[in-house]
Amino acid sequence: MNRKLFFLLFCLFVVMIGFGVTLPVLPFYVRHLHTNVGTSREMMAIHISLLTSIYALAQFIFAPFWGQCSDRVGRRPLILLGIAGSAIAQVLFGLASSLAMLYVVRAIGGVLSSATLPATTAYISDITPEHDRSRNMAWLSTAVSLGIIVGPAFGGLTTREDLHFMLGSLDLKIENFAPPFFLSAILMFLTLLIAIRWLPESLPIQANSAPDDKPSFDWKNLESKLLVLLGLTLAGQFGLAVFEGTFAFYAQERFGYGPAEIGIVFMVCGLAMIVFQVVAVGCLTGRIRTISQVALGFGLMGTGIVLLLVMSSLPLVLGAVTLLSLGMALIAPNLAALVSKQGGQHRGSVLGLQTAASSLGQVGGPVFGGFLFAWQASIPYLVAGSFLAGVGLLIGLTKSRKRKPSG
C-alpha cells in the first residue's frame, strides 16, 4: 500500500469513528435528554430512527453536489472539508442540551461529512488501475469498517452521564454523555492537520484547472446499468441501516444489553467486515465475477439478519452479525468498483450519486425499521432479511437467464 492511499484511508477511518460513536450511545442520550417530557417505548424508537435518518437524509441531498465539486476543484479540498465538518459536528453533538438541538446538529453533521466519501472513493479511482480497483475499494470499505469497530467500542466504553476532572482545586464536570463526542472531535482535528500536511491532490492538473472546458455531467440521462447499480447500493444500505438503526434498542429490550455490550456487537460487526473485505474480496477478485459476489453478499446479509430473531445468547448473536458482515463485505467494495467504472471523467459525480443512494438507504432503513419496531420488535428483521435474500436471488436468476443460449 502506497503512502497516499494509507493517509487517505486513515482520514476516512477517523471520520467513520465519529459516525460509529453514536451507535451505542444514541438510545441512552435520547432518553437522558427526553426525560422531562416522558419517554414511551414507541416514542424512543421513533426518535432514534429519525435522528439516524436525518443524518443520512442530509448526505443524500448533498453528496451528489460534493461529488461534482470534487470533479471540478479536486478531491483534496472536499476531503479536508469533510474532516473539519465532522469534527465541528461532534463538538456540537456533545454540547447538545435538548432533543431539538440533537436533530439540528445531526443534520449539520450529515451535510458536512457527506463531502468525504465521494471524494475519497474518487481519489482511489484516480490513483488505481482498473484491474486493481476492487481490491483497493475493499481497503476503503475496510477503513469504514474499522471506524465502525472503534467508534461504537469507543463510544460505549467512554460514555458517562457525568465525567469529573480535578485540576488542582478546580473540579471540571462534563455532562450528558458528551466525552466520546469531544474525544472523537479532538482526533478529527489532529487528522485534519495530518491531511493538510501529507495528503496531496489526486486529480490531474489538467482535469481541474479549467472546469468550464469539461463537459458537464448529464444527470437526466443515466445509463440503465448505472441505475441498477445505484438501486443495489440503495437496497444493501437499506438492509444494513434497518439493523444499525434498531439493534441498540432491540438488544436493550430483548437481552438487557447496555452501551458496552452493544458496542461489542458493533465492534465484532466491523471487525468481521475488515477480515472478509481484505481476505474474501482479495481472493475472489479475478476468480468469481464481481456481480456474482454481490449476489452472494445479499443472500448472506439477509440470512444473518433473520437469524438475529432466533439467537438467545451473545455468542450466537455475534455469529449472526458475522454472517451479515460477510455479506456486506462482498457487496460494498464490488459495487463501488462497478460504479466507478461507469463514471469515466465524471467519477466524482457518479460516486456522489452512489453515496446519495447509500444515504437514501440510511434514511429509509431506520425510519422503516423504527416504525415496524414500535409495532413489533421482530418485524423489522424478518422483513429486511427476506428483502435482502430476495434481491440476491433476483440477481442470480437474472445472471442465469443471460447465460442461457438463445433458441
pLDDT given for residue 387 in this prediction: 93
Domain count, the chain: 1
Model confidence pLDDT, tens digit, residues 28-54? 777 777 665 555 666 777 787 788 778
Instruction: Please check whether residue 209 lies inside any domain of the structure.
Output: no
C-alpha cell at 265: 456487537
Is the pLDDT at 407 greater than 50, yes or no? no
Model confidence pLDDT, tens digit, residues 195-231? 998 888 887 755 555 455 555 555 555 677 888 899 9
In whole angstroms, give the CA distance from residue 74 to residue 207: 8
Residue (of 236, 390, 393) closest to 327 by Cα position: 236
Instruction: Please check whether residue 181 lies inside any domain of the structure.
Output: yes
Instruction: Please check whether residue 238 lies inside any domain of the structure.
Output: yes
Instruction: Please check whether residue 402 lies inside any domain of the structure.
Output: no
Is the pLDDT at 299 greater than 90, yes or no? yes
Task: Give the CB-side neighbour count of residue 368, counting CA atoms within 13 A.
Answer: 22
Quote the strand ranges of 138-282, DSSP E. Answer: 162-167, 170-175
Q: Are 49 and 371 in contact (CB under 8 A)?
A: yes
Task: Please list the residues that pair with 174 across neighbouring strands.
Answer: 163
* Residue 291: pLDDT band with limits 50, 70, 90: confident
Is the pLDDT at 369 greater than 90, yes or no? no
Instruction: Please check whether residue 393 lies inside any domain of the structure.
Output: no
| Residue whose grid cell is 463514471 | 343
Average pLDDT, the chain: 81
Mean pLDDT for 396-406 is 66
C-alpha cell at 74: 479536486
C-alpha cell at 235: 437496497
pLDDT top residue among 341 and 122: 122
C-alpha cell at 312: 438467545
pLDDT given for residue 406 in this prediction: 45
Q: Which of 107-116, 168-177, 330-339 has the highest mean pLDDT?
A: 107-116
Is the pLDDT at 95 greater than 60, yes or no? yes
pTM: 0.71
DSSP string, 263-275: HHHHHHHHHHHHH
Share of the chain above pLDDT 90, in %: 20
Q: Are 366 and 22 in contact (CB under 8 A)?
A: no
Is the pLDDT at 5 greater than 80, yes or no? yes
Share of the chain above pLDDT 70, in %: 85
Mean pLDDT for 326-343 is 84
pLDDT given for residue 374 in this prediction: 79
Q: Which range marks the domain in which residue 238 is found?
A: 3-160+175-201+225-263+346-375
Instruction: Please check whether residue 250 lies inside any domain of the structure.
Output: yes
164 DSSP assignment? E
Residue (of 337, 339, 333, 331) closest to 294 by Cα position: 331
* Residue 165: pLDDT band with limits 50, 70, 90: low
Instruction: Please check whether residue 179 lies inside any domain of the structure.
Output: yes
Which CATH number do you get for residue 140?
Answer: 1.20.1250.20
